[in-house]
Structure 1
Amino acid sequence: MIKSMTGYGIANFENERYIISAEIKTLNSKFLDLNLRSPRQFSDREIEVRALVSDVLERGKVNLNIEFSSKDSSELPVSINQGLFETYFSTYKLMGSQVGVEESNDIFRMALQAPNVVTSISEKSDDPEEWEMVKKTIVEAAKNCDGFRKDEGDTLYHKFKENLQIIRDGLTSIQEEEPKRKERIKSRVRNNFKEWMEENSFDENRFEQELIYYFEKLDITEEIVRLSTHLDYFQKIMDAASSQGKKLGFISQEIGREINTIGSKANDAAIQRHVIVMKDELEKIKEQALNII
């Protein structure tokens, strides 16, 4: 099973006292990178929130927005300094009359918006029931986000399978082409050296040894076997119980190394065409593997 790091989850809670909402958006990141927006009364709870989120979402760039509103309208969520407001209003009104301006509505708005007239109440919440409900809402949103990630992971899983199959098909074509490549090399060597060997004295045994050494340098049998093994291992990790994006990234690097070696050692146009297709599919895998948990 693989899970994407891209996700979205939302959860809401409401009772007779308050309304709570938690919204989570996630993107890929090497570690858990939490960006938290919450009401002032919960500003000291970030460490606890991080623990709640990491238990469910593991890693990724996480944007969490918490909204909390009380249904109790008997108290304002702000503090109004009435004496300071009256001072501002009187001063502005006097200044307006001196220059012939008597728009009291504008003066009222200016006095209300003056510094320190209206301030937010920043007292911490001391109600444990409030925080418990907020925690439950956060966890529910995280689980919904995790479900979204699993669905995205299923989509990526099928894409990876298609990419792997194309690479496997290319590998099969290379295996079929390999005997033909060897014959082309032998034919080319024979033609190039036939006249020269007839005109010059040459140790045939030594020449055969040199040919064997040359063919060993061009042999791609080991690379083909290793590439097939890496593809099988990639599939095995995709089917594992837990998502292992970093391991998939490492395996894809090894796959790329074998594909590149096959292309350089083969030095054959027919095989190179298959190598290009395989490399293109591998780049798609590498790009998407960065988004796997």
Structure 2
Amino acid sequence: MVISMTGFGRSKVVSGPYSVNVEIKTVNHRFSEFSIRMPRQLLKIEEKIKKKLNQHIRRGRVEVFVTLEGEGTVTRKVHVDWKLIDEYYQFLLDAKKKYNLEGNVSLAELLGLDELVHIEESEMGNEELETIVLTGIEEAVILLKQMRLAEGEELKKDITANLYQLETSLLDLRKYAPFVVQVYKERLTKRMQEFLNGQYDESRILTEVAIFADKADINEEMTRLCSHIQQFLQTLEDNEPIGRKLDFLVQEMNREVNTIGSKANDSNIAKKVVEMKSLLEKLKEQIQNIE
């Protein structure tokens, strides 16, 4: 099954005082990598989030953004440092007495000092909130997977079309390859006749042609290339991550095509090799986005 590594999913779950927003996006990556950004009180369920994501995503860079809204997510309370207030108040009384100062110490003066009185905020974390977050993750990742599957189907169509073009070029090579040796023999015979005024050793020509035929034989490479194409088509139907296997097959096909180009000393085959390498380059680019 062809699944793209590019996708996006978003969800919003509201329950009681809580509102959870989740966004997940994935891009190409050689391995599986997660980046999760969320409030601190949710850090303890990070592994649970990764486990849930792993049920749907096997490869790619995954970026997750979780935000919380609602009064139930944060509690506030007044923190008073009574000991410090006592010391500060006593200091003011002593200073007033020592230096004969006038005036009274007001409550407003004490409240205005952050060291004495300040508001503390604490983020709430409980099982209900964790359940809502995991529900949001599940909904978002399902939407993301649907998008990855839809894009994967489009990739499969393009890849299959390029494979069939590659197979057609290979069939053309199979039909033409046997004539390469015959063309070489005719060319060699003509040159020998011109050089030796029509007198030449037929056995010597046959020997040279046999040597050329052995060096220019591309049947083995064509057979392996045909096998790789069939494996590629079969792999597209596998129900598991196939990106790395397809990448390996493209490398092997490229190796066979390069060998064909280097062994076959013929301009027509050279043109076919260029066409096939162009198709393989397209395949290589396409499979970079497959899980």
TM-score (norm 2): 0.79
Q: Distance in 1 between matches of 2:163 and 2:142?
A: 31
How far did residue 251 of structure 1 move?
Answer: 0.6
- Give the direction of change, closer, same or farther, for the CA distance of 1:198–1:34 in structure 2 (3 Å limit): same
Q: Does 1:152 align with 2:151?
A: yes
- 5 Å-filtered alignment, 1:99-248, equals 121=121, 123=123, 125=125, 127-194=126-193, 205=203, 208-248=206-246
Aligned equivalent of 1:33? 33
CA deviations 1:129-176 (Å, max 9, x no partner) are 110111121122112111111111101100101111111121122223
- Residue type at the aligned position of 2:261: G
CA deviations 1:31-83 (Å, max 9, x no partner) are 2211111012112332222222122111210010011122449945xx78799
SS of 1:242's equivalent in the other structure is: coil
Aligned equivalent of 1:270? 268
Q: Distance in 2 between matches of 1:73 and 1:171?
A: 64
- Residue type at the aligned position of 1:12: K
CA RMSD of aligned residues (A): 3.0
Aligned equivalent of 1:13? 13
- Give the direction of change, closer, same or farther, for the CA distance of 1:153–1:33 in structure 2 (3 Å limit): same
- Give the direction of change, closer, same or farther, for the CA distance of 1:73–1:66 in structure 2 (3 Å limit): closer
Q: Distance in 2 between matches of 1:120 and 1:32?
A: 39
- 5 Å-filtered alignment, 1:74-89, equals 75-76=75-76
How far did residue 254 of structure 1 move?
Answer: 0.9
Q: Distance in 1 between matches of 2:79 and 2:184?
A: 93
Q: Distance in 2 between matches of 1:71 and 1:119?
A: 16
CA deviations 1:238-269 (Å, max 9, x no partner) are 02222311100111111111111111111211
Task: Report percent identity of matched pairs.
Answer: 31
- Give the direction of change, closer, same or farther, for the CA distance of 1:221–1:73 in structure 2 (3 Å limit): closer
Q: Distance in 2 between matches of 1:279 and 1:120?
A: 66
Any gaps of 5 or more consecutive residues in structure 2? 82-111
Aligned equivalent of 1:62? 62
Any gaps of 5 or more consecutive residues in structure 1? 84-110
How far did residue 229 of structure 1 move?
Answer: 1.2
- Give the direction of change, closer, same or farther, for the CA distance of 1:42–1:232 in structure 2 (3 Å limit): same
- Give the direction of change, closer, same or farther, for the CA distance of 1:118–1:134 in structure 2 (3 Å limit): farther
Q: Distance in 1 between matches of 2:258 and 2:46?
A: 47
Q: Distance in 2 between matches of 1:45 and 1:26?
A: 21
CA deviations 1:180-225 (Å, max 9, x no partner) are 32322111111223355679886x5465344312211101111111
- Give the direction of change, closer, same or farther, for the CA distance of 1:229–1:14 in structure 2 (3 Å limit): same
- Give the direction of change, closer, same or farther, for the CA distance of 1:190–1:235 in structure 2 (3 Å limit): same
SS of 1:57's equivalent in the other structure is: coil
- Give the direction of change, closer, same or farther, for the CA distance of 1:166–1:198 in structure 2 (3 Å limit): same
- Give the direction of change, closer, same or farther, for the CA distance of 1:201–1:12 in structure 2 (3 Å limit): closer
TM-score (norm 1): 0.79
Q: Distance in 2 between matches of 1:74 and 1:136?
A: 21
SS of 1:267's equivalent in the other structure is: coil
Paired residues, number: 261
SS of 1:23's equivalent in the other structure is: strand
Q: Distance in 2 between matches of 1:122 and 1:200?
A: 104
Specify the structure having the higher radius of gyration (Cα): 2
